Structure 1
Amino acid sequence: MLHEIIIAGFGGQGVMSMGQLLAYAGMIEDLHVSWLPSYGPEQRGGTANVSVIISDQPIGSPVIQDPTVAIVLNNPSFQKFEPKVRPSGVLIVNKSIIDLKSSRRDITIIEVPATEIASGIGSARVANSVILGAFLQYSQAVPEEAVIKSLKKVLSERKQYLIPANQEALNKGANLVRTRNAKKALGDINRECSL
């Protein structure tokens, strides 16, 4: 099992904390992990990305050239990382913010209206957890419970009150992918029946 993940967006969108949550969750599950952040010239409002590797084998290098998964939270990140996703990889997009479309047919694209879902929960600040929930459901890289445990390590003490909202956001993101997969399976069944 190997997941090479790049998460990218503006500083302040929770890019680094998403990476930390995945890395901590991987450690909780006794997996090999690496976490390598990269910041633009300014932290808040500048571009930021983080490379996370989760594997059941030792990791040779934390550098990712062609990710198995790219999670993009803004248009510049989409433009930079969409072409780098390896064939048969996954591109997860916050479609609340990104208005670009991929023309690639060799990858799976999951569009998540993360900001709208987070606003429905009552805090736009948990949009990153909606996206993360979608990723976890699709990839099964680490259990959602491990990420929930990791929230206590990643969120500062004064932000611990956000844990319930983050849990709800993770669940809503996962449900979005469950529904998508169910519809896809139903579509496949319908096609098979019509043949």
Structure 2
Amino acid sequence: MKTKTIIAGFGGQGVLFLGDLIAYCAMKEGKYVTWVPSYGPESRGGTCNCQVIYADTPIGSPAIVHPDILIVFNVPSLYKFLPRLKNKGILFYDSFLIKEPSLRKDIKVIEVPAFQLSKMGNMVMMGAFIAVTKQIKLRTVYETLEEKLTGAKAKFIPINKEAIEQGIKYVEQKKEV
């Protein structure tokens, strides 16, 4: 099994953290992993994306031409990366920030109003990702959050866990799993 994912949005939306979290969780679960961030000089408001690959066998290249999964949080990212999503791939998009997009018929579409459900919209999307793909265990995500959010950032663990649970609950209620 090899899964190639691109996550994209504006700086400040937690795009890189979401990608790092997926990569780290996959690594903890025994997968080979690559994580490649890409962002402009702006720390907030500029575009950013990351590419995550995890696999059961060694990964030859970290570059992704046609992702299996695309997670987007803004319109520019949707239209930049959607043409690259492979046939029968999965698109997760923030339906709160992306209104009435033009989508392809050959993909599975998961609409999640991530930043409407929580100010931690990236973690809402993590929950949706877990619920739909079933490729990463929730327990691993919680353990990883506790390892990554230490010191002054530890206070964000409960709100991140709550947001993840909102994402899981949302897709399960919509029966998009």
TM range (shorter): over 0.9
CA distance in structure 2 between the aligned counterparts of 1:142 and 1:127, rounded to whole angstroms: 18
Name the structure 2 match of 1:45. 45
Counterpart of 1:192 in structure 2 is none
CA contact (8 A) 1:9 1:73 kept: yes
Question: Which residues of structure 2 form unaligned runs of 5+?
Answer: none
The answer on 1:144 being equivalent to 2:124 is: no
Distance (Å, rounded) in 2 between the aligned partners of 1:54 and 1:154? 19
- Which structure 1 segments of 5+ residues have no match? 119-123, 185-195
Looking at structure 1, the residues matched to 103 and 21 of structure 2 have their Cα atoms a distance apart, in angstroms, of: 31
| 1:16-70, Cα deviation, whole Å (9 max, x unpaired) | 1001111110111011111000012312211000000111111111110110001
- Distance between the aligned counterparts of 1:14 and 1:157, measured in 2? 19
Task: Give yes or no for contact 1:4–1:69 (8 Å, CA) kept in 2.
Answer: yes
**CA offset digits 1:128-179 (Å, max 9, x no partner):** 1001110111011211111111112333521211111111111111112222
Q: Given the alignment of the two structures, is residue 2 of structure 1 paired with residue 2 of structure 2, yes or no?
A: yes
CA distance in 1, matches of 2:125, 2:69: 12
Q: Deviations over 1:62-109 (max 9, x none)?
A: 110110001000111011111111000011001111124133110011
Task: State how many pairs are aligned.
Answer: 177
TM-score (norm 2): 0.94
Q: Within 2, Cα distance between the matches of 1:23 and 1:96?
A: 26
State the one-letter code of the partner of 2:134.
Q
- Aligned ranges for residues 19-58 of structure 1 at < 5 Å? 19-58=19-58
Q: 1:166 aligns with which of 150, 160, 170?
A: 160
- Matches of 2:85 and 2:49 in 1, distance apart? 14
Residues 1:77 and 2:71 aligned together: no
Distance 2:107 2:97 in 1: 21
Look at both structures and tell me which one has the larger radius of gyration over its CA atoms.
1
Over the matched positions of the two proteins, sequence identity in percent amounts to 43
RMSD: 1.5
Structure 2 SS opposite 1:91? strand
Contact 1:17 1:154 in 2 (8 A): no
Normalising by the residue count of structure 1, what TM-score does the alignment of the two structures yield? 0.86
Q: Greater helix percent: which structure?
A: 1
Following superposition, which runs of at least 4 residues in structure 1 exceed 3 angstroms of deviation? Answer: none
Partner of 1:16: 16
SS in structure 1 opposite 2:132?
A: helix
